[in-house]
Amino acid sequence: MATQKVIVKRLASIENFGSMNVFCSDKTDIDEGTIKVESVLDFNGNPNEKARLYAYLNASYQTGFTNPIDDAICVNNVDISGYQKLDECHMTLFGSDLAFWCPKRIRFIITKGALQNILDACSSVETSEARLIQ
């Protein structure tokens, strides 16, 4: 750690670090300092293209505060030409599809945040297999 010029404020943390068997890092790659989206998964941990679309819609239409996670999501282009942003509030996007042939356009709300906080506000969860009632 000294060769990497790491400053440690609490000596006990060096002992804790040395006794770890598994180290998990959240959001940023330790070596590169960049974020890359490897996959987009549903509630059950299965790959889900609808979740990828919604993540891309939210990340690409959001204004104001930008963050590296949104940038990483937007690297993999998704065709959103059939959708429009209606409004946004904090980290929530209000949008609709552009199905002009249909009198009832599909409107949606996409929000992002800590998983448990989002789940606490939901009454059901949609997965690749089915809609689950919580």
How long a stretch of residues is the chain? 134
The structure tokens listed for 109 are: 């709300």
In the residue annotation, 97 being an active-site residue is answered as no
Catalytic residue among 26, 31, 79, 120: 26
Straight-line distance from the first to the last Cα atom of the chain, in angstroms, rounded to the nearest whole number = 46
CA-to-CA dists, residue 25 to 2, 30, 33, 35, angstroms = 21, 7, 11, 11
- For residue 69, the surrounding DSSP H or E stretch is helix 68-75
**Catalytic positions, please?**
26
